[in-house]
């Protein structure tokens, strides 16, 4: 067995306190109209970093995003891509970005350039002070009101009511030590909710204020229902307190039902329905965890892909095995 001496890895730095290697990672879902501009902007803002990799994760786009990315990769050897067999969602795309980044550090960007690459050096400089993850905090967030309000309520509820450890106000614009990010992915959690997973690992974190731009091209790829599914993932995936609150509600409802006659019966029915709902949410998570084959499957890439992530990797030949 190889012994591992535990120590905080000292950042290997190039010139002027720069990391030795950096991956700029961009998840893309139907962003054909944006890919060229994203590439040009990253090239303009981050080319000064040694050993820069520009990693596009195509999350099952159907609009020619992959063709655009391939054209870029033919011209620019720093461009790498991983393309999913279907749309697996942003968390899966993050997982692939972390798993396949070649850089020591990963900066997470987006195709609509709402997280401006010009702000990334601030996050990187902070990270090199000795953190594992540095979150960008959008002081002026240019998103619709329901998104801003929804996120704020979701994160506060998670923290205060359900005791989930996360960094309030943190966005997906962040710089992460790739080795630590891969630990989070390798946990294979049913909910790969990065911001709530990092504290479970004991990752050292810091925040830096960043600018945030309005989305330029079309609407957000984010649907309203995602706020609800995301919230459910966060609350039920990282806390058992919803069950605790439920037991409390049931315990309080019993005397009310007895004392208040028919009104009480209605209140009791509401609590009962709530109870069934919360229990169903946990059972659903258990079942899903046991049947979900993978976080994502890769159809195409210009880098080597682990067999368990590849849709086409040769599995065991069943007829051979049966002989």
Our finding on whether 55 is near ligand UDP (CB under 6 A) is no
Interatomic CA distance for residues 91 and 93, integer angstroms: 5
If one asks whether residue 132 binds Mg ion (CB under 5 A), the answer comes out as no
Residue 59 binding ligand UDP, by CB under 6 A: yes
Answer yes or no whether residue 212 interacts with ligand UDP by CB under 6 A.
Answer: no
Contact with Mg ion (CB under 5 A): which of 53, 58, 104, 112? Answer: 112
What are the Cα distances from residue 187, in Å, to 80, 194, 239, 273? 25, 11, 17, 33
What is the rounded distance in angstroms from the CA atom of residue 291 to the CA atom of residue 303? 28
Name the one range near ligand UDP by CB under 6 A: 132-140, 215-223, 241-249, 271-279. 215-223
SS3 category, 287: helix
Residue 19 in the binding site for ligand UDP (CB under 6 A): no
Helix (H) or strand (E) holding 38: helix 35-46
Considering only 114, 155, 170, 239, the residue that binds Mg ion (CB under 5 A) is 114
Both tokens assigned to 166:
């996360």
> For residues 83 and 114, which CB has a smaller minimum distance to Mg ion in the complex?
114
Q: Give the range of 34-42, 53-61, 212-220, 245-253 binding Mg ion by CB under 5 A.
A: 212-220
Q: How far is the CB of 93 from ligand UDP (least distance, A)?
A: 4
Task: Yes or no: say if 93 and 192 are a contact pair by the CB < 8 Å rule.
Answer: no
Tell me how far apart the alpha carbons of residues 48 and 42 are, in angstroms, rounded to a whole number: 10
Q: 25 or 131, CB closer to ligand UDP?
A: 25
CB of 210 to Mg ion, least distance (A): 14
Decide: is 222 part of the binding site for ligand UDP (CB under 6 A).
Answer: yes
Which segment (34-42, 58-66, 123-131, 214-222) binds Mg ion by CB under 5 A?
Answer: 214-222
In the complex with ligand UDP, which residue's Cβ is closer, 148 or 160?
A: 148
Quick one: which of 194, 169, 21 has its CA closest to 93? 194
Q: Least separation, in Å, of the C-beta of 302 and ligand UDP?
A: 18
Measured from the CB of residue 244, what is the shortest distance to ligand UDP in angstroms? 31
Closest CA to 117 of 44, 181, 49, 48: 44
Three-class SS state of 173: strand
Q: Which of residues 113-132 bind ligand UDP (CB under 6 A)?
A: 114
How many residues can be counted in the chain? Answer: 323
Q: What is the DSSP letter of 117?
A: G
Q: Rule CB under 6 A: which of 86-105 touch ligand UDP?
A: 87, 89-90, 93
Distance CA 5, CA 183 (A): 17
Distance separating alpha carbons of residues 106 and 80, to the nearest angstrom: 14
Interaction of residue 84 with ligand UDP, rule CB under 6 A: no
Q: Rounded to an integer, what is the distance from CA 91 to the centroid of its chain? A: 4
For residue 185, the minimal CB distance to ligand UDP (Å) is 16
Closer by beta carbon to Mg ion, 21 or else 114: 114
User: d(Cα 145, Cα 314) in Å, to the nearest integer?
Assistant: 48
Q: Give the residues lining the site for ligand UDP (CB under 6 A).
A: 27-29, 31, 59, 87, 89-90, 93, 110-112, 114, 215, 220-222
Q: Give the residues lining the site for Mg ion (CB under 5 A).
A: 112, 114, 215
């Amino acid at each position: 067995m190889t012994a591992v001496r535990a120590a905080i890895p000292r950042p290997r730095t190039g010139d002027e306190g720069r990391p030795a290697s950096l991956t700029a990672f961009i998840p893309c879902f139907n962003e054909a109209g944006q890919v060229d501009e994203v590439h040009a902007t990253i090239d303009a803002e981050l080319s000064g970093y040694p050993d820069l990799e520009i990693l596009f994760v195509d999350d099952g786009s159907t609009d020619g995003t992959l063709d655009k990315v391939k054209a870029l990769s033919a011209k620019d050897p720093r461009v790498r891509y991983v393309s999913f067999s279907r749309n697996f969602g942003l968390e899966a795309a993050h997982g692939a970005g972390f798993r396949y980044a070649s850089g020591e550090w990963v900066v997470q960007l987006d195709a609509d350039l709402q997280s401006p690459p010009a702000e990334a050096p601030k996050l990187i400089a902070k990270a090199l002070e000795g953190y594992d993850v540095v979150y960008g905090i959008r002081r002026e967030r240019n998103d619709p009101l329901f998104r801003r309000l929804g996120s704020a309520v979701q994160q506060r509820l998670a923290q205060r009511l359900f005791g989930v450890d996360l960094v309030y106000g943190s966005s997906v614009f962040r710089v992460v030590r790739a080795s630590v990010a891969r630990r989070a992915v390798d946990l294979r959690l049913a909910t790969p909710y990065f911001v709530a997973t990092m504290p479970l690992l004991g990752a050292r974190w810091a925040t830096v204020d960043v600018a945030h731009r309005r989305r330029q091209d079309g609407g957000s790829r984010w649907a309203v229902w995602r706020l609800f599914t995301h919230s459910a993932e966060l609350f039920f995936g990282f806390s058992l307190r919803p069950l605790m609150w439920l037991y409390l509600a049931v315990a309080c409802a019993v005397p009310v039902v007895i004392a208040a006659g028919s009104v009480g019966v209605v209140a009791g029915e509401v609590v009962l329905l709530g109870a069934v709902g919360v229990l169903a949410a946990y059972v659903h998570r258990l079942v899903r965890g046991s049947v979900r084959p993978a976080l994502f499957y890769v159809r195409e890439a210009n880098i080597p892909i682990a067999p368990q992530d590849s849709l086409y990797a040769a599995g065991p030949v069943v007829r051979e095995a049966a002989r």
